[in-house]
Amino acid sequence: MQLDQLCHFCDDFLAVGDFDDYCPNGLQVEGRAEVMRLISGVTASLDLIEAALDLRADAMLVHHGYFWKGEPAVLSGYKGRRIKRLMQADVSLLAYHLPLDFHTEVGNNAQLAKRMGWQVEGQLGEIWLGETRQTLSAEELREDIGEKIDSNPLLIVAGPKPVRRIGWCTGAAQSYIEKAATAGVDAFVSGEISEQTVHLARELGIHYIAAGHHATERYGVQALGALLAERFAIEHHFIDIDNPV
């Protein structure tokens, strides 16, 4: 398929125009016009680029791309090396950040809920709300998450109460714990944790689980890549570059 066709479909499907994001969404580095082999991954690191080139990728699809607000604009150092490698190989880079977090079908939050078997009830701003399949202890929830997304979650326990109502937001969303508490959830799940999150969880009476930024955001690009492969008859491979954070 043609690169511009791929980009237009993704932009429309993910409704990129609806988001005021920290980076440009869509095509970030333009390569060859035809795409037959698409490689997806979480972050467009040099390791992912090299792995994609080993598989003779025509284009890469990631959640974390380049050109973030507030960072230096010059293409030098590690940023220059990444983009130079892509351009030398004539490989395109498509990146979708917030649009891929919040899409109700292929988004990171929707896919995490699907993998965990959580029943989605709705959203409170950035936070997704729902219920677990059965009532669990906080430790049982931590173990279930760790097993199903292959991570080692950190649990902050806030008392003895069991968990049924749950809130979640993938990635670096620990700061939303206060908003989650207003929704009356028993536990809030995100990717990362900050020092103050520990105290807030205990004082708000809400269990907090930091399940890993990378681990909670593996599934959106995989779902989108699979959809593109089926719809446009292109080859798709997901590459998981290990990241413990």
What is the mean predicted confidence (pLDDT) over 3-11? 98
| Beta strands at 37-43 and 235-238: parallel, antiparallel or unpaired | parallel
Name all domains of the chain by residue range, CATH numbers in brackets: 3-96 (3.40.1390.30), 108-216 (3.40.1390.30)
pLDDT tens, residue by residue, 15-39 = 999 999 999 999 999 999 999 999 9
Q: State the pLDDT confidence band at 48, using cuts at 50, 70 and 90.
A: very high
At 201, the amino acid letter reads A
Pair 23, 65: CB distance under 8 Å: yes
Mention every residue, 6+ apart, whose C-beta is less than 8 A from residue 200: 177, 178, 208
User: Contact, 170 vs 113, CB < 8 A?
Assistant: no
User: pLDDT confidence of 206, banded at 50, 70, 90?
Assistant: very high
Q: Which of 112, 66, 58, 92 is nearest to 223 (CA)?
A: 112
- pLDDT value at position 218? 98
What does pTM read for this prediction? 0.97
pLDDT tens per residue across span 127-136 = 999 999 999 9
